[in-house]
């Protein structure tokens, strides 16, 4: 079973990003992966150019003035995502791809299928510690008045619960979305989700291609039919699992175990496999 290594700070030469007087540790767990580092920088430049749609929120470069804790929120979310990605370069074996960010998850953490409740340690009793996401400081960006313990997202809980239950190194898993930003209903405000249009989803394809370049050795797993259809359109080989939403958690867990538990050598799956949602 995987155990978290004690955190000893950043190795010499690694950079830290600061959020005012708050320092978010950017511990990098690899050496000599300059190309991947450059691709991560390219990814952030792309993420800055979110679709010009008023009902899509960019958590890394936009501020949610009504719900963010302070003006440092977007910078913290950038640091979160960078730590998450950098610490998996050279280690990731699985790349799980969903449809889009949600308000209970990546809207406030900046990481796909990851809730603030997880980062704040609120699910440790379920075996999901903040350190399985990334090593460093785990800071909230939502106003504490909204949810004192941070927002919790059912999909995030199921996905990370499945990862930890598998007993594998959690740094073997990368989480992403075909549409990396958060689509919401303008009428209901940013604390809502909506199904993105296909034209909007297509704007996330370049980021998906970059993610594949950053983690070329990882097996891609589509979480749901929407993700699977877009991966197929991109020509990316992938496995498919049921999305855990809408009573799909049990089937997701079973299919997930069937993929990651088969052998230590990641098998090859192809886009002809079909998801059930």
Give the model confidence (pLDDT) of 203-228 as tens digits.
999 999 999 999 999 999 999 999 99
Which helix (H) or strand (E) segment holds residue 168: the answer is: none
The more confident residue out of 32 and 62 is: 62
The answer to whether the CB of 74 falls within 8 A of the CB of 63 is yes
Q: Is the pLDDT of residue 244 over 70?
A: yes
How many Å separate Cα 2 from the centre of its chain?
20
* For the chain, percent of residues with pLDDT exceeding 70: 82
Q: Judge whether residue 268 has pLDDT over 80.
A: no
3-class SS at 250? helix
Which 8-state DSSP code applies to residue 35? H
CATH 3.40.470.10 describes domain 34-260: yes
Instruction: Report which of 146, 145, 182 is spatially closest to residue 57, judged by C-alpha positions.
Output: 182
If you average pLDDT over every residue of the chain, what do you get?
87
Domain spans of the chain, in order of start: 34-260
pLDDT digits (tens, 9 = 90+) for 70-97: 999 999 999 999 999 999 999 999 999 9
Per the DSSP assignment, residues forming a β-bridge with 98 are 177
pLDDT at 276: 40
Q: In this predicted structure, which of 3-12, 73-82, 166-175, 251-260 has the lowest mean pLDDT?
A: 3-12
Q: Which 3 state secondary structure label does DSSP give 101?
A: coil
d(CA 27, CA 98): 26
> What pLDDT score was predicted for residue 37?
86
Whole-angstrom Cα distance, residue 34 to residue 126? 36
Q: Give CA separation, 218 vs 31, 60, 161, 245, in Å.
A: 18, 24, 20, 24
Whole-angstrom Cα distance, residue 214 to residue 66? 34
Are 128 and 160 contacting, i.e. CB atoms less than 8 angstroms apart?
yes
Q: Give pLDDT tens digits for 28-56.
A: 444 446 678 899 999 999 999 999 899 99
Q: Where are the alpha helices (DSSP H) in the chain?
A: 34-47, 73-86, 106-109, 116-119, 154-165, 198-202, 205-214, 225-233, 249-260
Q: Give the global pTM.
A: 0.85
């Amino acid at each position: 079973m995987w155990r978290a290594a004690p955190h000893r700070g950043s190795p010499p030469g690694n950079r830290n990003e600061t959020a005012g007087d708050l320092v978010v540790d950017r511990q990098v767990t690899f050496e000599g992966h300059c190309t991947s580092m450059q691709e991560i920088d390219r990814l952030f430049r792309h993420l800055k150019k979110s679709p010009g749609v008023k009902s899509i929120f960019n958590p890394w470069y936009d501020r949610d003035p009504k719900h963010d804790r302070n003006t440092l929120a977007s910078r913290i979310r950038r640091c979160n995502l960078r730590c998450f990605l950098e610490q998996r370069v050279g280690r990731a074996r699985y790349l799980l791809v969903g449809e889009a960010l949600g308000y209970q998850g990546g809207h406030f953490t900046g990481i796909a299928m990851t809730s603030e409740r997880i980062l704040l340690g609120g699910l440790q009793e379920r075996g999901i510690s903040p350190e399985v996401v990334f090593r460093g400081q785990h800071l909230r960006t939502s106003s504490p008045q909204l949810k004192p313990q941070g927002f919790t997202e059912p999909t995030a809980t199921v996905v990370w619960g499945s990862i930890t239950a598998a007993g594998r190194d959690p740094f073997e898993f990368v989480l992403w979305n075909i549409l990396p930003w958060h689509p919401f209903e303008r009428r209901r405000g940013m604390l809502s989700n909506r199904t993105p249009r296909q034209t909007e989803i297509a704007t996330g394809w370049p980021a998906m291609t970059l993610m594949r370049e950053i983690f070329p050795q990882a097996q891609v797993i589509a979480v749901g039919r929407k993700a699977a259809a877009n991966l197929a359109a991109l020509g990316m080989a992938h496995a498919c699992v049921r999305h855990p939403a809408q009573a799909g958690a049990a089937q997701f867990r079973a299919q997930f175990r069937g993929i990651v538990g088969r052998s230590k050598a990641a098998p090859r799956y192809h886009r002809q496999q079909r998801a059930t949602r």
